[in-house]
Structure 1
Amino acid sequence: MKALIYTDVEVLTYMDRPMPEPQDGEALVRIMSSGICGSDMHAYLGHDARRPAPLTLGHEAAGVIVGGPEDGRRVTINPLVACQTCDFCRTLRENLCPNRQIISMMPREGAFADYVAMPVRNLVTVPDHVTLSQAALAEPIACGWHAVRLGRAVLGGDLSGMRCAVIGGGAIGVGAALSLYAQGARDITVIEPNAVRRERLADVAGFDTCAPGGDGMPADGSVDMVIDGVGYAATRETCSALARAGGVIAHIGLGEATGGLDVRRMTLQEITFIGTYTYTAADFEATAAAIFDGNLGALDWVEERPLSEGHRAFKDIRAGLVAAPKIILTPDHTTAGP
């Protein structure tokens, strides 16, 4: 089969790789759509020790089961493989499983490939009216869905009268904004510095957009829930300023490890900080259901490119040339085969 392999810093090579061999309880999935995540970009830039070269990246994927009793079943993939036996798994907090694995991190190769092997329990059936590119968005949007659920619980559960802001107009930020809307919020602003991307997002229903510090930027101390989908010191500084007394900061982004938080203000104003990592299996399934029911909008803000041109896609994202919040790679199956 063909795969897009991270072979060195800022080098991705489209090449032949061995077919994955499903183990007991696993299915072979023919990948039809696989999104480029910020974590893939971190690996590509050599910033993620958890993803050493050579490695097949990609974990936001959907496809079709090949072989076995469920041959032809259309599925979206929950890439987080938990042990199912630890205390976190038994209490349905699989995202905190100390033994968790995620495809695109060793020992599990990722989904920038023609095929991947996955536990059947990690596969959610996709109805025929949903495209597999839409279904591949379940993974990045589930990160925001999980963050919103946690923040909503702190705020009392009802977001209908709350002011919300999301920092970052990539797929994580857009997914968080759409999750806010689906879970009841109506006053939502996405803060995005890239003018090309802001223009692309201007017609996405459910939220407004603005540049940092520009027209439409919420006032300091006015936001009930602010979600950081970027995770740099500068964005955390903005979160600390925007959150109201008693408000919530939900932090998803992994841009850099330290700096930015105004801990004194957060302490004096009793601002809750929630670090969020991935999602539970229930969050993933709820996100997929919201996609299938149309509760997250048309999801037409992606750009599709062939897997064989994946290296160019990474370069374009790196250069800030991509307006779409998400690029979906679509393998060329004319050369693929078991």
Structure 2
Amino acid sequence: MKALFYTDTKQTEIMDTPAPAPRFGWSRIRVSHSGICGSDMHAWHGHDERRVPPMILGHEAAGIAADGPHAGKTVTINPLISCNTCADCQGGRPHVCADRALVGMAFPGTFAEEVLVPDTNIYPTKLAPKQATLTEPLACALHAVQLATTRMPGAASAIVLGGGAIGLLAARCFALKGLGRIDIAETNPLRRSLLADTTGARPYDPLNHTPAQADIVLDAVGSGRTRHAASALVRPGGTIVHIGLQDCAGGLDTRRLTIQEITFVGSYCYAPKDFRAALALLEDGNVSGDGWTECRPLDQGQQAFTAIHDANAPPKIILTI
């Protein structure tokens, strides 16, 4: 089968590779659409020691089940694979399972004609595959927003740092939660021009403007600079939710967090309930990829990665296979 391999820092290549071998309790998915995630970019930049080339990246995907219980149906996949037996898995928190693994990291990814996935991680849907591909990033954003609003049930305002797919979807989720003021920071003017119409939030350039403090600050970038900004932008008694993973530099003002009793919480992936809820939001039409996604063929994968790197791309590029 044809697949896009990450071969070296900032390098990908279309290669032929054997189709996945059958495995009991797993199904083959004929991938039709697969989104490029920020974590794929992190690997492509050579900054993720867990993803060692040559390998097939990709984990946001939809297609047709080739076999198994959902054969012939359009499906989207939950790429997070957990042990299903530990206390965290049994308690509904498989995303923090000590033995968790991810398609596109521990297993071959979805930038390929076929991918093998556990049957329990496959979700049939009547959505068009392009829309269904957004289930996974929406589940990430929804989980982070749920963490934030659970800790601050009376929150009236939020600031999202980063207007990529996760930040955009988080802003949309905050709007669906009914928050009265949502600001979203984005330095890229191309992305900033798309954000108001697609999120219900107020986009701003953080290089030229600083909004008023907010009850919640969601850091969808995860750099030293955005942690510094989050520390300053959250109001006393507020909450910072950290979902971005750009670097491990400092930036967090722990003194202010302490004396102003600010909550800082990390958000990683999602629980199965978040994935189901994200799929429902897409199926109900409350969230869509209209206006901020772009499809490109798999054999233009290298150009797509380069366009994202050069800040010359919308918040989400989806590769078609």
TM-score of the superposition, structure 2-length normalised?
0.97
Residues paired across the two proteins, number: 321
- 2:109 is matched with 110
Change beyond 3 A, Cα 1:64–1:297: closer
Greater Cα shift, 181-190 or 12-21: 181-190
Report the secondary structure of 1:190's partner residue: strand
- Alignment match, 1:226: 217
TM-aligned CA deviation for residue 200 of structure 1: 2.5
Q: CA RMSD in A?
A: 1.3
2:315 to 314, 318, 325: 325
Unaligned runs of 5+ in 1: 332-338
- Secondary structure in structure 2 of the residue aligned to 1:279: coil
The one of 297, 300, 303 aligned to 1:312: 303
Shift of 1:191: 0.5
Query: Please, which of 133, 144, 147 is the counterpart of residue 144 of structure 2?
Result: 147
**Distance in structure 2 (CA, Å) of the matches to 1:298 and 1:255:** 24
Moved more, 296-305 or 276-285: 296-305
Q: Secondary structure at the match of 1:203?
A: helix
Give the AA of the match of 1:11: Q
Distance in 2 (alpha carbons) for counterparts of 1:122 and 1:22? 16
Deviations 1:181-225 (A, max 9, x none): 22332321111001111112232142111100545x422xx2011
Report the AA paired with residue 125 of structure 2: V
2:197 match: secondary structure: coil
Give the partner amino acid of 1:86: C
The secondary structure found in structure 2 opposite 1:199 is: helix
**1:194-213 matched pairs, under 5 angstroms:** 194-213=188-207
Q: Which amino acid aligns with 1:126?
A: T
Question: Match for residue 9 of structure 2?
Answer: 9
Distance in 2, Cα, partners of 1:52 & 1:270: 41
2:58 is paired with a residue whose SS is: coil
AA of the residue aligned to 2:316? K
Matched residue, 1:132: 129
* Identity within the alignment, %: 46
Report the equivalent of 2:291: 300
2:79 paired residue number: 79
Unpaired stretches in structure 2, ≥5 consecutive residues: none
| Structure 1 SS opposite 2:203 | strand
Structure 2 counterpart SS, 1:204: helix
Give the TM-score normalised by structure 1.
0.92
- Whether the aligned pair in 2 keeps the contact of 1:22 and 1:118 (CA below 8 Å) is no
Contact 2:172–2:198, Cα closer than 8 Å, also in 1: no
User: Contact 1:75/1:126 (CA < 8 Å) preserved in 2?
Assistant: yes
